[in-house]
Amino acid sequence: GLRNYWGYSPIGWFAPEARYWSGRPRTTPALEFRQLTDAVHARGMEVVVDMVFNHSAETDELGPTLSLRGIDNALYYHLRESDPALYENWTGCGNCLKLSEPRVLQMVMDCLRHWVLELGVDGFRFDLAPVLARRPPGGEFDAHAPFLAAIAQDPVLSRCLLIAEPWDIGPGGYRLGEFPPGWLEWNDRFRDTQRAFWLHRATGLGDFAHRSAGSSGDFRHDGRAPTASVNFITAHDGFTLRDLLSYNERHNLANGEHNRDGHSHNLSRNCGVEGDTDNPAVLAERARLSRALLAALLLSQGTPMLLAGDELGHSQRGNNNAYCQDNDITWLDWVRADADLTAFVARVLALRREAAPLRSNHWWPAQPQPGQAALRWLTPEGQPMATADWEAPGRHAMAILFESPGMAQQWLVLVNAQQSAVRFTIPPGRWQLRLATDARAHGAGGAGLPLAHVQDMPPTSLWVASG
């Protein structure tokens, strides 16, 4: 009774999924998909398609022969040098397409141009992208591989939004920060840092600051911008946001694999009860942490990615690998959406659009010059962070000041991930509190409240002020 809900086992890359088609006369899946992209563009948005060119539905040597295997097995797939009857399996799905071969590369490039020119998409996210840049023999990753070079020279595709999932399970498979300039990459280190910082206080202020400022250690090279870092707290792989704060363990029995599938290292926190509860204290803590994580995501430097349904409070009942659940485990229930949480997300997104320094596409200078915009890290006492402050064990509170020259608006972010309130000394100026994750009224409103020079900030909360 299970089915491949995600569709990550492709064989016809040029064809839109027919399950999304209405079935109406005189229409086709392709025609309706183009109508979809046109409608999205008319609303000022873009469409990015998740493409799986790393493997096919023919899987391993025990899988079916559907097309490529029967046409030219050795041309289309990476085969093992030790035994060409077997397949390299750097994807975990049985086989790997060999994009170093001209004809395979031609198929992929023709397919991508088809999705852009005929179907109207604006860009692509590439699943297990290192596989696409592996060269035989040995399958070493090459940042100048034929696929990446072909994309860079293509007059159509080089202008598209290109996003890499920068890891696979092949040799040296973790390649975060190693894709060419112009590419964006999923940044799982941002995810793990934010989860560890807010939920467990298991990482320090330095790691939190580094990830919140765009992960320069991974992306500040070859002319790349902070926007190259695709920041996320949750994705389709793993827990939803609600489940991240409701379950300590995965609950994947419905997948039929005895709860062995899915990731076991989730850095989740159930706030005292495993799963659903009507305990008001537990629900309040989960709601407060949800708002803090969402604000930390949407107000960090880089490109934020929000999992569909997190703004609604969607739960998969603890399933962190729901690829085979085409049912109410994965379907979004718009009727039962958490209206308070949805309003909060809208408020934070509006604040992100207003506060340009919080979404800068330039790296902040380490030593700003007089009259230059600056990003300053401050202790709760209002002093510049010193080495001892960065390394202080057990301290998880700081202020982030975005200074602007002249009369331009300044922004202040206060962070307290500790379990108790922290007293902050606010920098000089007339500051208005614009967002407070611990109070729904502040999170959903917009007028702002005056901040006192000395301010006690509640635990596990994030505030934003303008001045």
Residues with active-site annotation: 127, 165
Of 394, 262, 360, the C-alpha closest to 318 is 262
Q: Which string of b and e fits 281-320 if b means at least 16 CB within 10 Å?
A: ebbebbbbbbbbbbbbbbbbbbbbbbbebbbbbbbbbbbb
51/49 Cα distance (integer angstroms): 6
Q: How far is CA 115 from the centre of its chain?
A: 23
268/297 Cα distance (integer angstroms): 16
Rounded to 10 degrees, the C-alpha dihedral 375/379/383/384 comes to: -40
268/248 Cα distance (integer angstroms): 6
DSSP state at residue 244: H
Look at the alpha carbons of 462, 381, 192, 165 in this order and tell me if their dihedral is positive or negative. Answer: positive
DSSP state at residue 113: H
For the record, the structure tokens of 460 come out as 């596990």
Report the length, in residues, of the chain: 467
In sequence order, the β-bridge partners of residue 455 are 424
Contact 120, 151 (CB under 8 A): no
In sequence order, the β-bridge partners of residue 369 are none
**Cis ω on the peptide bond leading into residue 137 (within 30° of 0)?**
yes
Of 164, 148, 294, 160, the C-alpha closest to 230 is 164
Rounded to 10 degrees, the C-alpha dihedral 254/257/263/268 comes to: 40
Q: At 384, phi and psi to the nearest 5?
A: -60, 140
Q: At 222, phi and psi to the nearest 5?
A: 55, 35
334/142 Cα distance (integer angstroms): 44
Of 441, 434, 423, the C-alpha closest to 465 is 434
Which positions ≥6 away from 71 have C-beta within 8 Å?
none
Residue with tokens 């010193």: 386
226/213 Cα distance (integer angstroms): 8
**Cis ω on the peptide bond leading into residue 405 (within 30° of 0)?**
no
Cβ of 388: how many Cβ atoms within 10 Å? 9
